[in-house]
Structure 1
Amino acid sequence: MLKAGIIGYGTLGKSIAELIVSKQAGNVELKSVLVRRKPDGWDSAQQTFALTSEEEEFFNGDLDIIIESAGHQALHMYGEKVLSSGSHLVVLSVGALGDTRFYENLQASAEQHRKQIIIPSAAIAGLDRITAGALGEMEEITLITRKHPRSWAGTIAEEKVNLEALTEPVCIYEGNARESSKLFPQSVNVSAALSLAGVGFENTKVQVFADPTIKTNTHTIKAKGYFGEVEISVSNVPYEQNPKSSPIVAMSVAKVMKNLTSAVVIGV
């Protein structure tokens, strides 16, 4: 049985915990979750895992794998510590890896401690195809992300347009993945994952739209290369309490866990 821990207990962290506890993530036991502070009304007697704000207690828990679901700052704070403590690291705040020096240090730590940094498909599809295609010449990769204006609240998009007044789709960003992952850290981590799978941050084109005509979060990948061409679109239902993300992200993490503990693995 795989012993797992989670950093962060927000909307995503809770969803991942529920999937593990309900055994939808394979033969995995959730041992503990690291939080800044315990939520009001938390009753440890009614839970099968520990909730702790004590870092040393968490990292000394002999965990096989730790899932980061707490944002870029948390990954910077704890990424190397996860690996040095003897755990594999599942990264959800992939945009933080746009920091080249940080990413290189994290890779070096993983190699030193013989652990893996695992990046799930999360909100997009087709990373297996892109990773395979990148073994040959890749001519271009573009990501087009569309979300309802409410999903861009609290981002730089508010400086560009009046989100509440939009009546038609507006492109709020066009550029490369390195810049987009910095400008929209909670919303376009998918561009970072795509970059790492394919042709890098500078060469991955990104378009970001605020679209009042849709209710879902949509991502379209267009790629062309030696392997041929591919166009993949996904439409994700957002969390009501956190429209920047979607339940499929937690489900993708559960799939990672299941793959690690199953005799048969499909879609890698």
Structure 2
Amino acid sequence: MESHRIILYVHPVFSEDYNNVARRFADTYKRFPAGASHKLWVICNGGVLSPQQKAIYAGTNPVFMSRDNTGWDVGAFLDACTAIVESGVKCDMVMCCGSNTHFKRAGWLRRLSDVWDKNGPGMYGVTASYEIRPHFNTSSFVCPPKLVADYPFSVTCMEDRYHFEWGSRSLMRQAESAGMPVLLVTWDGEYPVSQFRKARNGYRNGDQSGCLAYFRHSDTYDAAPQDQRFHLAEYADGLRSNTPEIHALRMKIDSLYG
């Protein structure tokens, strides 16, 4: 089954900043091997990668898929998973990775594959937050490609992207409604939604060493002084999600999607 697993990485083609984070992704992808058989797809948002950009992935033998930048990383996940399903590519599990994804320890896909093989097809996140409402950070997660391809809403604006991640009918809610297991996976354990923030050294918790993958908000926490880390953790714990501004945003997003 492992050979039917695909990692999707999103590389916007139009900025040196994105080239730099792509270099970090590719470097850590090679330095800290996934530990499980898979194929890497690089989704080129905004056009075709130049030869210099493609060289970032030397030695990884990826599939390159070009598209426009509609929906940013989430739009890339939707288009790639739709292509996988409609073309009949053999794939039981995709790992969706946003542009800022990077790794610090080998075996991250092996860990996710073990949980998948134990619990069955589901949605498994590597970082999670209670900010606004409980959700996976959609910077890195695994699920069946059909779950993403069947997402019932288009993603063309920032409100759409918010809803995909934490809205009342988010991708995670779609997985729950389908009866799939929904778990946060760290190096040390698996946690249901009610226990997301109990993960030891998880996202914005302790030294974050329990995380299987990292992204820009992980980096912000790592770089912050201790007092600021405390406040960032409060946001992730949902302790600052009942302000009038957050309530208004939550109501606005939910009202748009039924």
Q: Which one has the bigger helix percentage?
A: 2
Q: Which has the larger radius of gyration?
A: 1
TM-score bucket of the superposed structures, by smaller chain: 0.3 to 0.5
Q: TM-score, normalised by structure 1?
A: 0.35
Q: Which one has the bigger strand percentage?
A: 1
Q: TM-score, normalised by structure 2?
A: 0.37
Larger relative contact order, structure 1 or 2 (CA cutoff 8 Å, min sep 6): 1
